[in-house]
Amino acid sequence: MSEGFTLWLTGLPGSGKSTLAGLAAEELRRRGYRVEILDGDEVRTHLSKDLGFSKADRDANIRRIGYVCKLLSRNGVIAITAAISPYREIRDEVRREHQRFVEVYVKCSLEKLFERDDKGLYAKALRGEIPFFTGVSDPYEEPLNPELLIESDREDAQSSLRRLLSRLEELGYIAKAPAPQ
């Protein structure tokens, strides 16, 4: 059984965390790894539906996600989290609880996020219709030293995936992919 680890994708809503998590999970499974994705929206629906969006509730949500990731990773699973996780202190707390942890900051400019805003969430937040919206009416604290910075407004998803896999190989968390024949 291979060693598990936690792959934590953080960034503003709409930055591409879930897309990258899905692509990474697909490729890692193809390579024979056991993988689970804990998507922030799904966790809120199934594990944290009792929580709101205050700082205390957001911290509790991230702690819950971190705990599940820790259980999975110590049992040989690659736990991938795609969650906004806006506060640096709680992300760092979760990191300290893990033996093998990779933080990926999926960064995207607000201008690009407004363009991508298919659901109109940023527009509603700007009009004050959504309180505590991260990046508009609630803060997002960028990671200071992530293992990888993905600028999703400057590269496509496949390029981001290649860089992510390469970084995981460099860190020794996954084996290098065999060269195509």
Q: Which of 73, 85, 152, 160 is labelled catalytic? A: 85
82 SS3 class? strand
pTM attached to this predicted model? 0.91
Whether 132 maps to a domain, the answer reads no
C-alpha Rg value of the chain to the nearest Å: 16
Q: Which amino acid is at 8?
A: W
Which residues constitute the domain of residue 101? 5-109+141-170
Contact yes or no for 9/94 (Cβ under 8 A): no
* DSSP state letter for 68: H
How far is 149 from 142, CA to CA, in rounded Å? 10
Instruction: Give pLDDT, residue 158.
Output: 96
The CATH number assigned to the domain holding 15 equals 3.40.50.300
pLDDT tens for residues 18-45? 999 999 999 999 999 999 999 877 777 7
Around Cβ 55, how many Cβ atoms within 10 Å? 13
Place of tokens 């598990």: 4
Whether 129 maps to a domain, the answer reads no
How far is 142 from 118, CA to CA, in rounded Å? 24
Whether 146 maps to a domain, the answer reads yes
Whether 83 maps to a domain, the answer reads yes
Low pLDDT (below 50) residues in the chain: none
Q: Is 2 a catalytic residue?
A: no
Instruction: Give pLDDT, residue 181.
Output: 61
Contact yes or no for 90/59 (Cβ under 8 A): yes
Q: Number of folded domains in the chain? A: 1
Place of tokens 């990779």: 102
